[in-house]
C-alpha cells in the first residue's frame, strides 16, 4: 500500500475540552439531553418505525411553522441546503427574483437565485435597518418578480425584519411567491406561515430549534406546492428536488438515505417545543434576550442595532475601542469556557439567544465572562451593574408556567 496509516492521530478525548464549552454564539447552540440522546441512535431509514417518526415530525413541524396544510420536507444538510432547496424549487431559471438584502445570509439567497440563472434584483436595505414595506412595494411594482427572498432575522448583523408580515402581504398582492429564511428565528419569535401568506419557510437544526447542525426543514405553502408540481423542467439539483424528496417524506419510499439520527434528534427538538408551547417559548426568549440586553447596556456596552430594527434571537455588541473582537473571544473561551461569536465585518461580537441559550444560568455565566474578560483586557466596564440589571430585568417578567413537563 502506498499510503500509510497517518501518525500522530490522538483520540477525540485528547482534542475536546474536558468540560464542553458553553456555546453562546450565533450557532450551533447547546442541545437538550433528549436531543443529544436521540442523535446517538441509528434505525432503518425506511419501514414502520421511521414512517411513524416522519408522521410526527411533519405534524409537529406544522405547529412550529404555523401551517395547516404546508408541505413539510426535511433536508440532510445545513440551513443553506434548505435555503437552496426552497430557491431551486420555486425559482425557474430565467424568471425574476427580488432579494431583500440586509446582510450576509439574505445576500446568500440572492446568490443562490443568481446561480440558478434567475434575473435577480437586489434591494439593499440601508445598514442597521429593517426593510420597509413601502420600499419593497416600490420594487415589486417596478420589477414584477415571481419570487421574493427575505430573512426574518439577519444573524450576521443582528437586524430583524420586523415588517415581514406586511411585506409578505404586499408580495401576495403582486402575485409573488415569498421565501423566508427563518433559520435563527423559527420558534424563538412569532412567524405564522399561513396567516402571513408565506410560501416557503426555511430553518436549520442548530439555531432556533436548538437541535444539531446538518438536518434542516423546509415548509412549502399549497400555492408553492402547486407551482412545484406544475413545473415541467428538470431541476438542476437532484438531492434538493422537492418532488423527489416528497417520495421519502410523503410516500414512504427511497430518495436518498435519510439522516436518521438527525431526524430522530429533530423529532425530539420539535417535541420539546410542542411541550413548552410556542407562546411560552417566545416569552422565554423575549425575557432572556431583553434581560441580556439590559445587562450589557448597564455594564456600559453599546448594542449594535437600534431597538426598532434589533433582533432578539442574536444580540450584537460593539467591541469597546482599543479591544479586538478576536482577542476578546479567545480570552472568554480560554479563561471562562464560554464561546460567543465574532462577526463578518464590523467590530462586533454576538451572543445568541436561541433555544437552550435562553436559560438564566447561561445568561449570568455569559455576562460575567464577557464583562470580566473585557476588564482583563483593559476596558472599564461595570460588571456588577450589568449583572444587577440582568437579574432585575429577568425578575420583571413572570416566570413561565413551570419548566417543560416531561413526557412519560
Ligand atoms: C446560520 C444561518 C444560515 C445558514 O445556516 P447553515 O446551517 O450555516 O448553512 C442561513 N440563514 C440564517 C438567517 C442563519 O442564521
Residue-wise DSSP of 57-84: HHHHHHHHHT-SS-EEEEEES-HHHHHH
Q: Is 320 in the pocket of ligand 1 (CB under 6 A)?
A: no
Ligand 1 center from residue 105 Cα (angstroms)? 7
Model confidence at 344, in pLDDT bands (50, 70, 90)? Answer: confident
Pocket of ligand 1, candidates 85, 155, 191: which has the most ligand atoms within 8 Å of its Cβ, to mutate? Answer: 155
Report, as an integer, the average pLDDT of 93-106: 97
CB of 151 closer than 6 A to ligand 1?
Answer: yes
CA 215/CA 75 separation, integer angstroms: 6
Report whether CATH 3.90.1150.10 matches the domain 22-27+277-396. yes
Q: Confidence class of residue 160 from pLDDT cuts 50, 70 and 90?
A: very high
Using CA atoms, how far apart are residues 312 and 303, in angstroms rounded to an integer?
11
Residue 408 pLDDT? 37
Q: CA 114 to CA 16: how far, in whole Å?
A: 40
Q: In this predicted structure, what is the pLDDT of residue 215?
A: 98
Helix, strand or coil, per DSSP, at residue 32: coil
β strands within 306-396, DSSP E: 314-318, 338-339, 348-352
135 Cα–ligand 1 center, Å? 25
Ligand 1 pocket, mutate which of 80, 187, 214 (most atoms under 8 A from CB) = 80
Q: What is the pLDDT of residues 215-239, one digit of tens each?
A: 999 999 999 999 999 999 999 999 9
Atom of ligand 1 nearest to the CA of 27: 1
Q: Which fold has domain 41-275?
A: 3.40.640
Q: Please give the average per-residue pLDDT across 338-357, as a whole number.
A: 94
406: pLDDT strictly greater than 90: no
204 CB near ligand 1 (under 6 Å): yes
pLDDT of residue 400: 53
Residue 398: pLDDT band with limits 50, 70, 90? low
Residue that wins the pLDDT comparison between 64 and 398: 64
Instruction: Work out which ligand 1 atom sits closest to the CA atom of 185.
Output: 13
Interval between CA 308 and ligand 1 midpoint (Å):
23
CB-based burial, 120-157: b 16+ in 10 Å, e otherwise: bbbbebeebebbbbebbbebbeebebbbbbbbbbbbbb
Domain boundaries, the chain: 22-27+277-396, 41-275
Q: What grid cell was written down for 72?
A: 413539510
Which residue's CA is minimally distant from atom 12 of ligand 1?
183
Ligand 1 pocket check for 105: Cβ under 6 Å: yes
CA distance linking residue 59 with residue 56, whole number of Å? 5
Taking 70 as the threshold, does the pLDDT of residue 407 lie above it?
no
Residues 198-213 have pLDDT tens digits of: 999 999 999 999 999 9
pTM of the model: 0.96
* Nearest-atom index, ligand 1, CA of 82: 9
Whether 145 is in the pocket of ligand 1, judged by its Cβ within 6 Å, is no
- Distance between CA atoms of residues 229 and 235, nearest Å: 12
Average pLDDT in the chain: 96
Counting ligand 1 atoms within 8 A of each CB, the residue from 183, 213, 215, 357 with the most, and so the one to mutate, is 183
CB-ligand 1 contact for 155 (6 Å cutoff): yes
The per-residue pLDDT for range 117-155, each reduced to its tens digit, is 999 999 999 999 999 999 999 999 999 999 999 999 999
Is pLDDT at 403 greater than 90 in this prediction? no
Amino acid at each position: 500500500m502506498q499510503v500509510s496509516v497517518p501518525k500522530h492521530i490522538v483520540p477525540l478525548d485528547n482534542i475536546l475540552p474536558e468540560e464542553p464549552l458553553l456555546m453562546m454564539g450565533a450557532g450551533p447552540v447547546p442541545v437538550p439531553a433528549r436531543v443529544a440522546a436521540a442523535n446517538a441512535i441509528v434505525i432503518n431509514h425506511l419501514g414502520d418505525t421511521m414512517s411513524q417518526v416522519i408522521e410526527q415530525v411533519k405534524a409537529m413541524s406544522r405547529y412550529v411553522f404555523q401551517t395547516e396544510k404546508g408541505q413539510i420536507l426535511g433536508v440532510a444538510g445545513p440551513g443553506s441546503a434548505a435555503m437552496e432547496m426552497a430557491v431551486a424549487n420555486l425559482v425557474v431559471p430565467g424568471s425574476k427574483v427580488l432579494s431583500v438584502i440586509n446582510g450576509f445570509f439574505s445576500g446568500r439567497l440572492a446568490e443562490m437565485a443568481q446561480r440558478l440563472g434567475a434575473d435577480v434584483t437586489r434591494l439593499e436595505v440601508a445598514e442597521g435597518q429593517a426593510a420597509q414595506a413601502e420600499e419593497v412595494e416600490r420594487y415589486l411594482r417596478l420589477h414584477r418578480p415571481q419570487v421574493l427572498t427575505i430573512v426574518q432575522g439577519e444573524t450576521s448583523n443582528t437586524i430583524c425584519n420586523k415588517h415581514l408580515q406586511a411585506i409578505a402581504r404586499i408580495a401576495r398582492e403582486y402575485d409573488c411567491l415569498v421565501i423566508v429564511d427563518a433559520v435563527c428565528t423559527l420558534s424563538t419569535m412569532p412567524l405564522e406561515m399561513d396567516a402571513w401568506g408565506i410560501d416557503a419557510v426555511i430553518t436549520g437544526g442548530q439555531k432556533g430549534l436548538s437541535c444539531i447542525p446538518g438536518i434542516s426543514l423546509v415548509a412549502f405553502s399549497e400555492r408553492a406546492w402547486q407551482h412545484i408540481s406544475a413545473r415541467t423542467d428538470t431541476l438542476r439539483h437532484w438531492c434538493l428536488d422537492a418532488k423527489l424528496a416528497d417520495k421519502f417524506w410523503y410516500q414512504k419510499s427511497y430518495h436518498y438515505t435519510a439522516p436518521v439520527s438527525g431526524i430522530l434528534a429533530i423529532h425530539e427538538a420539535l417535541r420539546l417545543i410542542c411541550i413548552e408551547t410556542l407562546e411560552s417559548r417566545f416569552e422565554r426568549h423575549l425575557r432572556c434576550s431583553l434581560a441580556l440586553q439590559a445587562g450589557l447596556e448597564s455594564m456600559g456596552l453599546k448594542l449594535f442595532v437600534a431597538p426598532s430594527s434589533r433582533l432578539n434571537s442574536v444580540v450584537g455588541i460593539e467591541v469597546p475601542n482599543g479591544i479586538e473582537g478576536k482577542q476578546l473571544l479567545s480570552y472568554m473561551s480560554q479563561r471562562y469556557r464560554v464561546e460567543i461569536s465574532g462577526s463578518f465585518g464590523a467590530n462586533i461580537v454576538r451572543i445568541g439567544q436561541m433555544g437552550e441559550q435562553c436559560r438564566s444560568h447561561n445568561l449570568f455565566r455569559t455576562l460575567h465572562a464577557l464583562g470580566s474578560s473585557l476588564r482583563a483586557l483593559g476596558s472599564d466596564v461595570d460588571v456588577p451593574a450589568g449583572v444587577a440589571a440582568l437579574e432585575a430585568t429577568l425578575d420583571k417578567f413572570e416566570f413561565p408556567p413551570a419548566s417543560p413537563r416531561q413526557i412519560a
